[in-house]
Amino acid sequence: MGIVLKSDAELEKMWAANQVVCDVLDALEETIAPGVTTGDLGRIAAELCDKAGATSAFLNYAPPQHPPFPSVLCASVNDVVVHGIPSDETRLESGDIISIDFGCSVDGYFGDSARTVAVGEISARARQLLDVTQEALERAIEQCVAGNRMSDLSGAIERYVEQQGFGIVRVFGGHGIGRKMHEDPPVPNYVAGGRNPRFKRGMVLAIEPMVNVGSADVKVDADQWTVRTKDGQLSAHFEHSVAILGDTPWVLSRRDSRRAVATA
């Protein structure tokens, strides 16, 4: 399909969708506590999505050779990297970390964001993992200016994470987003060979570093969705949907990020 550039009016619609995403993630983060199940979180996300008049991006999503995803929310605990399926059997405990990933569409345009949250008191190593992953995302966002290339973004993540001694998941990454949840271009979290598009005004990228305490290697459960670290160590995941304007990125999925795109 190629990279689809969005007009200012389309970016405003994507901002609206991403603000629903932010509302849902904020509510879930306030709910997360020892004793809560990931099933509870999935139900809350579904209810808030319906109340907002949005359509889930994840529920029944079925790429080739996968069963339909059964929830509006990905809830990934501890060694689960991404695509954790909410369950009433998964009860959070103090010391856990949980990635909450939510996407939806409003008026035909998608929003997507994720964050990893501490449950009660977590270890110093887990806190460092969260901080490094979030900082890697911020460093990638700084590269989202017209004229830069994808390798500038990917390299910012790769250099920082590896300097901190963590592993970068390579088999999953970010993506373009707009009228579809997944559009061109792919957004790798490391400098890959092949295509290296230059950023232009109107591109929107869902950037999502996934960082492991140990090895970057992962495995997939029998449910064909749940992705875990191969060595059983912790993983964190942060994501924002970011629009390329001029020399200042517009983080669509950040709270109160509205701006006059015409002046950017």
- In which band, very low, low, confident or very high, does the pLDDT at 65 lie, cut at 50, 70 and 90? confident
CA 11 to chain centre: 18
Q: What residues have CB less than 8 Å from 71, skipping those under 6 apart?
A: 42, 45, 46, 58, 59, 85, 86
- Given a cut of 90, whether residue 234 has pLDDT beyond it is yes
Q: Give the side-chain half-sphere CA count within 13 A for 230.
A: 9
8-254: CATH topology is: Creatine Amidinohydrolase (3.90.230)
- Given a cut of 70, whether residue 5 has pLDDT beyond it is yes
Q: Which of 108-117, 193-202, 223-232 has the lowest mean pLDDT?
A: 193-202
Backbone angles phi, psi at 141, to 5 degrees: -60, -35
The model's pTM: 0.95
Task: Give per-residue pLDDT as tens, 137-173.
Answer: 999 999 999 999 999 999 999 999 999 999 999 999 9
Task: Give per-residue pLDDT as tens, 173-222.
Answer: 999 999 999 999 999 999 988 889 999 999 999 999 999 999 999 999 99
Any alpha helices (H) in the chain, and if so which ranges? Answer: 8-31, 38-51, 124-142, 150-163
For 229, the enclosing helix (H) or strand (E) is: strand 227-229
Count how many residues are written for the chain.
264
Q: What residues have CB less than 8 Å from 114, skipping those under 6 apart?
A: 25, 74, 99, 100, 101, 102, 208, 237, 238, 239
